[in-house]
């Protein structure tokens, strides 16, 4: 049985990754709306913790998991480490004596309790008193309503999490109101809505990308590029000796690493390092998401007879967030980057033969399984291994850590 899940990052006020919320997406052709909340959560927990292993999905970060009233009463959370999960109580769970008794046990054992989609009412006070984190949806509440909620909660020792933060303006507003954690796609949008010129330092990095992408750039020239940059050389040796490759013998020279990886992978590695430097002033999750998209696109393309070279699809995913990295529009970013016309058309116009794969990846990421499957079926891609490929992409995204 295949269970599809996705994860959404949760950040601190300093834009550092704090945790992931794990979200059930689909199983055996049934979508979230067709399953009970109990089955959705138990499927997610079983797959994530018992089958795949939580380190594969979330590394060492906390996982926010939705819990229904029934699962709280059955004390399902007790089967999982308090250091691994946050018990996220859904908004329709009422503080009955039975629920409060179960939640009190969790609290005494040290579990972190979060209240989802919180709207203040007096009936919820018993749960508020036990909660560690309260999640407030920026799409469901007005600014005035949010300020009133925070005022009423000010006497409690609680941390606040702002959900569905879509822009940096909303992030800044929530941060100034005193929110501690933030969830949404704000990190994937340019920070500035005003156009500004890309810095000369970043321009030099972009020129380096152009050099790396030239077909006539030899392995000798690539070696010179690596050896001339201490950061790239250091990261290459760390990368080749990481657990991702499981080498029996340590690689100790640039030349050895290049021979082992080959020209294609060396080019790709330098591109990843340069992009990570371009994104140095951004949340690390922005680069991570770029890597996930890149590998996910590449893996999905492998199952499509009509798709272009898989490496082209890798570039499509990798550069899908370059507008946010450079704080500019996608069109201006593409004018400066040496990518194929097909990739540029997909990113700028959201059109062309390559776009459906990126569309499928973004739909999966945003929790729209129907749209994801429709896009893949348009390309005659077998959807059986979508989740397996997503897990591989998550694992790949750790290579720059």
* Span 104-143, pLDDT tens digits: 999 999 999 999 989 888 888 999 999 999 999 998 888 8
Of the listed ranges 26-30, 53-57, 75-79, 249-253, the one predicted with least confidence: 26-30
Q: Residue 223 CB: number of other CB atoms within 10 A? A: 16
Q: For residues 390 and 267, state if they share a domain.
A: yes
Same domain, 298 and 226: yes
Q: Which residue has the higher pLDDT, 387 or 392?
A: 392
Q: Domain tally for the chain? A: 2
Residues 215 and 141 in one domain: no
Coil/strand/helix, residue 11: strand
Mean per-residue pLDDT over the chain, rounded: 81
Angle at 89 between CA 77 and CA 393, to 5 degrees: 70
Q: What is the pLDDT of residue 220?
A: 86
Residues 287 and 351 in one domain: yes
User: Is residue 160 in some structural domain?
Assistant: yes
- Phi and psi at 17, nearest 5°, equal -65, 125
CATH of the domain at 134: 3.20.20.450
401 located within any domain? no
Domain holding 70, by residue range, is 3-188
Same-domain pairing of 142 and 94: yes
Query: Which residue would you say has higher pLDDT here, 182 or 47?
Result: 182
Same domain, 105 and 206: no
Residues 223 and 163 in one domain: no
One-character DSSP codes across 12-69: ETTS-EEEEEEEEEEETTEEGGGS-HHHHHHHHHIIIIIII-HHHHHTTSEEEEEE-H
Among the candidates 188, 223, 238, a domain finishes at 188
pLDDT band at 26 (very low <50, low <70, confident <90, very high): very low
Query: What is the average per-residue pLDDT within 85-103?
Result: 92
Cα 104 from Cα 70, distance rounded (Å): 16
User: Is residue 1 predicted with pLDDT exceeding 70?
Assistant: no
169/236 same-domain check: no
pLDDT above 60 (res 39): no
| Residue 193 within any structural domain of the chain | no
Q: pLDDT tier at 235 (50, 70, 90 boundaries)? A: confident
**How far apart are alpha carbons 185 and 324 in whole angstroms?**
11
User: CA-to-CA distance for 91 and 104, rounded, in angstroms?
Assistant: 18
**Mean pLDDT value of segment 235-261:** 80
pLDDT higher than 80, residue 307: no
Whether residue 253 lies inside any domain: the answer is yes
Low-confidence winner among 40-49, 224-233, 234-243, 264-273 (lowest mean pLDDT): 40-49
CATH of the domain at 311: 1.10.3210.10
Residue 125: strand, helix, or coil: helix
Q: Say whether 177 sits in a helix, a strand or coil.
A: helix
Same-domain status, 131 and 264: no
User: Binning pLDDT at 50, 70 and 90, where does residue 55 land?
Assistant: low
Which of 188, 222, 255 terminates a domain? The answer is 188
Query: Residue 48's Cα: distance from chain center in Å?
Result: 16
Element (H, E) at 7: strand 3-12
- Burial of 395: CB neighbours in 10 Å, binned 0-12, 13-18, 19+: middle
Q: Which residues pair with 88 in a beta bridge?
A: 66, 114
Query: Does one domain contain both 302 and 377?
Result: yes
* Residues 367 and 221 reside in one and the same domain: yes
Residue where one domain finishes, among candidates 138, 153, 188: 188
pLDDT at 228 over 70: yes
Instruction: Tell me: do 46 and 176 sit in the same domain.
Output: yes
Q: Which residue has the tokens 């949760």?
A: 10
> Looking at the domain assignment, is residue 249 inside a domain?
yes
- Tell me whether residue 379 is in a domain: yes
Residue 323 lies in a domain: yes
Q: State the DSSP string of 267-328.
A: HHHHHHHHHHHHTTTS-HHHHHHHHHHHHHHHHHHTT-TTS--HHHHHHHHHTTTHHHHHTS
Residue 271 lies in a domain: yes
């Amino acid at each position: 049985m295949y269970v599809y899940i996705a994860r959404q990052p949760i950040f601190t006020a300093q834009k550092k990754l704090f945790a992931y919320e794990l979200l059930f997406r689909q199983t055996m052709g049934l979508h979230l709306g067709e399953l009970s909340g109990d089955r959705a959560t138990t499927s997610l927990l079983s797959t994530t913790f018992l089958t795949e292993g939580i380190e594969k999905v979330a590394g060492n970060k906390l996982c926010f998991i939705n819990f229904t009233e029934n699962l709280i009463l059955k004390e399902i959370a007790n089967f999982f480490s308090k250091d691994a999960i946050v018990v996220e109580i859904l908004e329709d769970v009422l503080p009955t004596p039975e629920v409060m008794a179960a939640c009190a046990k969790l609290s005494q054992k040290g579990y972190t309790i979060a209240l989802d989609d919180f709207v203040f009412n007096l009936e919820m006070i018993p749960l508020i008193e036990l909660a560690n984190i309260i999640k407030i949806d920026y799409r469901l509440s007005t600014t005035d309503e949010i300020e009133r909620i925070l005022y009423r909660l000010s006497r409690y020792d609680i941390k606040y999490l702002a959900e569905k933060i879509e822009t940096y303006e909303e992030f800044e507003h929530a941060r100034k109101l005193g929110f501690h954690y933030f969830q949404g796609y704000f990190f994937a949008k340019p920070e500035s809505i005003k156009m500004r010129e890309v810095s000369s330092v970043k321009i030099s990095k972009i020129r380096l990308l152009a050099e790396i992408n030239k077909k006539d750039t030899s392995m000798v020239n690539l070696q010179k590029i690596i050896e001339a940059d201490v950061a790239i050389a250091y990261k290459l040796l760390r990368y080749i000796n990481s657990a991702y490759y499981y080498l029996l013998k340590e690689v100790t020279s640039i030349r050895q690493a290049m021979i082992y990886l080959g020209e294609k992978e060396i080019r790709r590695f330098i591109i990843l390092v340069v992009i990570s430097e371009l994104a140095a002033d951004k949340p690390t999750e922005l680069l991570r998401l770029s890597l996930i998209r890149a590998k996910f696109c590449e893996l999905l393309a492998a199952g499509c007879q009509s798709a272009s070279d898989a490496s082209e699809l890798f570039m499509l995913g990798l550069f899908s967030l370059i507008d946010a990295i450079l704080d500019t529009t996608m069109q201006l970013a593409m004018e400066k980057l040496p990518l194929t016309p097909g990739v540029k058309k997909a990113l700028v116009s959201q059109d062309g033969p390559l776009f459906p794969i990126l569309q499928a990846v973004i739909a999966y990421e945003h929790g729209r399984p129907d749209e994801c499957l429709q896009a893949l079926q348009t390309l005659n891609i077998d959807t059986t291994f979508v989740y397996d490929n997503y897990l591989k992409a998550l694992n790949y995204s750790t290579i720059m850590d």
